[in-house]
Amino acid sequence: MAACEPAISVSKLALAHQVNANMVFKWRRQYRAGLFGAEPAFLPVALVTATKPASPAAPSPQVVACEGSIEIRIADAVVRVHGAVDAKMLRIVLQSLRS
């Protein structure tokens, strides 16, 4: 919503919130087109970095396992994703929550 304010630099706004400027432009277009509904509900997001202590059998720097988790709460639904994610499957799950 802040990106729609007059005299706001979308690039500076994105940089201040550590978000890709292209995504902010996309979200602004979608917001202006009414794709978020009459009164959009924005959810807070927290990025958490988990670190593991290095072990002697740790993989070389060229082989890195993708670890982490995502938790998305929409109304009464909670979607938790751990480790590597199949983007197509996640998109299908999230789209089914909209229905």
Residue 58 CA: distances (Å) to CA of 38, 72, 73: 50, 31, 34
Q: What is the pLDDT of residue 57?
A: 58
**How would you write the chain as a 3-class SS string?**
CHHHCCCCCHHHHHHHCCCCHHHHHHHHHHHHCCCCCCCCCCCCCCCCCCCCCCCCCCCCCCCCCCCCEEEEEECCEEEEEECCCCHHHHHHHHHHHHC
> pLDDT, tens digit, for every residue of 10-61?
999 889 888 889 988 998 888 888 887 777 676 666 667 666 665 555 554 4
Q: What is the pLDDT of residue 34?
A: 83
Residue 2's identity, in one-letter code, is A
- Residue spans of the domains in the chain: they are 1-41, 43-99
